[in-house]
Each structure stands twice: as structure tokens, then as C-alpha cells.
Structure 1
């Protein structure tokens, strides 16, 4: 199932993508009432398998009926597919070829840092280029969305705690990121985590460690890899983090970026993002996330 958030009259609403269009869940429930159907992304996540199954069955039923609650996706204004993540945990240097291109040592343990909710952004929205940076870079990444409380989970069972996956552009102001040993400043500028367009449930994605991943800048493919190149795969990441902190439904984990970022180029060839650039992140089964970058 593909969930999305869209904005109507300034409010975020839950949509489910179907072959007939996007089901406006709240509007459908007014016309075709049914108990136990969640009306926000976070209600679905927190409701577990029962909430997911109820929504999927309901969306299939009402989409088959048709009606005004089926929307044309091309006319929607998207919201973040995970509107209010709890923790935003990021894994750095997690693709072997990316570590090699930046001259970094292959990490022995996952390198963890965090971002904040001010970075959350959506498909189709502008990303501001901060006045204080001249080196803003793109990073195509797979996001893990936690679906169940996880503490001390094994690698073998870790993916049972995942609700689904989505695209993110882990936008990075390299001059701010590398100013000190802590990366936080360069990662946490406003709008620096566009998420979407869809939150795709784990059952539809299958193995997250075998997904094609690309980044396209102004029509040019800059990153072209596969999640198989991860140093620490998704099950290892969830298990590792859960040994140190409790993961809760709605937490998201950004799993690192493959080779092809501007930072990995020789210095004389580095051309960072500028006003008007359009960046698309594509991950197999998850759709395409596109944003324009604009001078602040």
C-alpha cells in the first residue's frame, strides 16, 4: 500500500494511492462510513497490522466504487509522507563506494547523527538554500519508518519492526557540516529533509537491501547505485540502534547515500546546488521525489 499526505485548505489529509486515483480517506468516510479506519499516516503506523489491513481493505472497496473522494494525483499539493517523525536518526558513510569516493575509512560501526523536525519537507516543495552556505549538496537515501516499539531486537527479527519505507533527500550544507567534527549544523537547516512522495508499506517493498537508487539533477543522473552497496544493511541498522535506544512507531532512519555526491568529486569539479536547480530522488518501488532549490 502506498500512503501519502496531501494538503487541502491548509490542513494535511491522508491519501491512499490506487489504480483508480488517490483515495481521500476523510472524505470517503463521510460518504461511506466504516469504523476502525485511520485518518492520518501516524494513526496507521501506530495502529499496527490491524490498522494497515483495515485501511487497505477500505481503500480498495471505495476506489472500486468511484466517486468524488477519488482524487487526481497530478493536482494534489503534497505534504511529507511522514508528517511528524519522532526521532530522525541518520547513518553516515553507509555505502562502500561513497566512503571510498570521499577518502573516508570504512566504518567499523554505523556512524549515527540526527536531524530535527524543522528539516521535514515534501515532494514538490521548494528547498531553501541558506544564506550562510555556498556548498549545498544532494544525497539520495532510503528511509526506514519504524512501525513497532523496538528495543534490543535481533538482526534476524529487526525488519518485523518496520512499517515501511520512503525516499528522502538528505540535503547537506557541506561547508557547515565540516566546520566542526559534529555534522549537525550542516544537516539541520530548514527544509533539508524532503520525504516522499509515498510511504510504502514493508510488504509491498520486500527486501530493502536490493533496491535501485538514483539522484537526478537538472535531468543529469548523478547517483546511480543499489542499496546492496550498503555497509550496514537495514536489518543491521535497526537492530544496532535498538541496542542503544528505544525505537518508537513513527521514528525514521535515514540509511546513508551512495557515491556521486558533489563532495566526492575533485575540488576543481565541485559545483554545488544553486538557485533554480531541480533534484529528483528515485528508489525502486518508492516513486520519485522532486524538489526545486531556491535562494533563501
Structure 2
């Protein structure tokens, strides 16, 4: 059985801790990044979990931060759940390639951080996703197996791949549409994997609600490309480093999905052959239901758990806020970072 880890701030100091029974027990040592924690802190965390650890502090008394830290690679899978492909009018049985895209690590924020809607974005969407935290560097092609996945993946996190659908559809720029600051809430917990968890990985339940209305509910069993296949293919393409994050796709229920599915049925596959991508995008935008998208004041709650409760990645609760007018920053001014990571 694995263990739950939190990165938190208490008394003005950022620490890492082992989570048990609603408390967090500080792990000895200082680790500036997730990569540093994985290198020398996780061994101490495992030792604490077997030895009972020390005195804990209630989680309610600390500020829990994102366990994934910037800078890092954030690699995402597109259309990796059968139900999501169906809701956007595509046949999952005909998919013959694994789709990847990137998300800026500056989009990371905490599981309680506000999500800032840029002024120009009108179609703000949510996507609950299971995240894989890389624990071992991949610098050459490698065949990753389910049985040895824990040797490559240090642990699991929950993430929300927040997306500006209007920019994504009209401009065709996924990276821009998904990389605004605060567009990637992660946490609250990092679950460090054990060999025994391989049987639970494809039986996790994902759930997301907006203002109490359940929008997404599915199992990781729906994945078209499971983690071991995904990491094997990624290792052929790029280097991955300890602390990098791989997001494994989202199930059905996203705001855009309802519109795309309805449009696909009305237009038909034959007529779509004669429409450009931009024309299709304009049709989607025109027929969209504005009420389905996120607006200021909305609260998103999300969770990922195994049926037996052994793996529980905590509860995310993020509120949508409006972007303030951009201020003119002089060249000599310090850099400003948005979001609590």
C-alpha cells in the first residue's frame, strides 16, 4: 500500500509531510522542488510510514500547496477516454494513435487556488484528470510494463486541465488555450505508489461537480491507452525527468462535449467532409450553451479514489474569479507569479 504526501506552508515555511488520519507529519529535510523531494525525501517518507512517524498537525491548520512544482514538463493526452470520444462525435474503436500536447508548468496552482478567467475567454471549461508523476528519468526508449510501473512512476496526483475552448477551437492552439496561469490545479495529495497498487490503477473513480451539480463521473478503466503504453511511447519521443507530470486524459461530461456531440449528430459525418476546421469551430461556438461553461463565482469540486479507499487523492475545491485589468509593469519591477504553487 502506498502513502499520501502533502506539500504545505505553515508558519511561513514550505515543508513536505506524510498525511495520516487528517494530519500531516513533517518529513525531515528541506526540498525546494518535487524533484528534490523524490531524490532524497521520499525514502524518509517511506521510513516514517513504517515506523509510525512523529507528531502531526491538522491539515485544516496549514496551507496545502501543489505537490508538483514548476518548472517541469507537463505532458497531456488528448481524447484518451472512450466516453469523451463518443461525446465529441468520434468512434473510440477507430482511434489508432496516442495524442499528446503540452501545458505550461506556470499554469500550476494548488487544489484550493482560485482559477483566473482571462478577460478575453468566454468558454472556460474543466477536465478532471489522473496525473502520473515521473520518478525515474527516461532518456531513451523503454518498454514500461504495468508490473514495474512503480519503478518509473513515483506517484499519482489529481489535476484539472482547465481549457479556454474558444481559443482552442478558433485558433487551433491547444497550448495557449490550456496554459494560462492557474489553469492546472494539482493535488492536494501526491500518492506514492507501491507494487501492490498496480491492480487499483485502472479501477480509480473520477468525479467532478460544478456548484454541486455532478458533471463528470467515470473510471480509469475507460482509458484507451493505459499509463504503461503511454510512457513507453513518450520515452521514444522525449526525455522525461523526475518531477515531470503526465496527464492521462479526461472522461465525458466537459462543457464543450455537450455542444460538439449535438452538432456532430445534426451535421453528420458526410457533411463534415466539406466543412473546414474553422467553419466547424464557428458552428460549435455559435451553438454552445453559455450556461455550461465556467463563470465567476462557480466552485469546482473534484476527487479521485479507488473503490477500497486505499488510493484517495484528496478533494479539490477551486473557485472561478475574474482577471483584473492588466497593470503596466516597468522593466525594473520584480516578476509577478499568480497562483499558489
Same fold (TM > 0.5): yes
Larger Rg: 2
| 1:109 and 2:104 correspond | no
Equivalent pairs, count: 279
Q: Matches of residues 173-188 of structure 1 in structure 2 within 5 Å? A: 173-188=164-179
Contact 1:211 / 1:226 at 8 angstroms: preserved in 2?
A: yes
**What is the CA deviation profile of residues 218-242 of structure 1, one whole-angstrom value per residue up to 9, with x for unaligned ones?**
1111000001101111111111101
**What is the CA deviation profile of residues 95-129 of structure 1, one whole-angstrom value per residue up to 9, with x for unaligned ones?**
11101101245432111110112100001111101
Q: Which residues of structure 1 form unaligned runs of 5+?
A: 30-36
Change over 3 Å in CA distance of 1:20–1:11 after alignment to 2: closer
Q: 2:181 aligns with which of 186, 190, 213?
A: 190
Quote the residue 1:230 is aligned against: 223
Contact 1:46 / 1:148 at 8 angstroms: preserved in 2?
A: no
Change over 3 Å in CA distance of 1:23–1:110 after alignment to 2: same
Q: 1:214 aligns with which of 207, 214, 236?
A: 207
| 1:171 and 2:198 correspond | no
Quote the residue 1:292 is aligned against: 319
| 1:16 and 2:18 correspond | yes
Q: 1:75 aligns with which of 56, 61, 86?
A: 61
Question: 2 CA distance for matches of 1:186 and 1:104?
Answer: 22
Q: Helix, strand or coil: the match of 1:178?
A: helix
Quote the residue 1:156 is aligned against: 145
Quote the residue 1:263 is aligned against: 256
Quote the residue 1:53 is aligned against: 43
Question: 1 CA distance for matches of 2:288 and 2:242?
Answer: 44
Change over 3 Å in CA distance of 1:11–1:119 after alignment to 2: farther
Question: 1 CA distance for matches of 2:131 and 2:152?
Answer: 14
Q: Helix, strand or coil: the match of 1:265?
A: helix
Change over 3 Å in CA distance of 1:174–1:116 after alignment to 2: same
**What is the CA deviation profile of residues 219-268 of structure 1, one whole-angstrom value per residue up to 9, with x for unaligned ones?**
11100000110111111111110111121111110111000000011345
Q: Matches of residues 91-110 of structure 1 in structure 2 within 5 Å? A: 91-104=77-90, 106=92, 107-110=95-98
Contact 1:18 / 1:60 at 8 angstroms: preserved in 2?
A: no
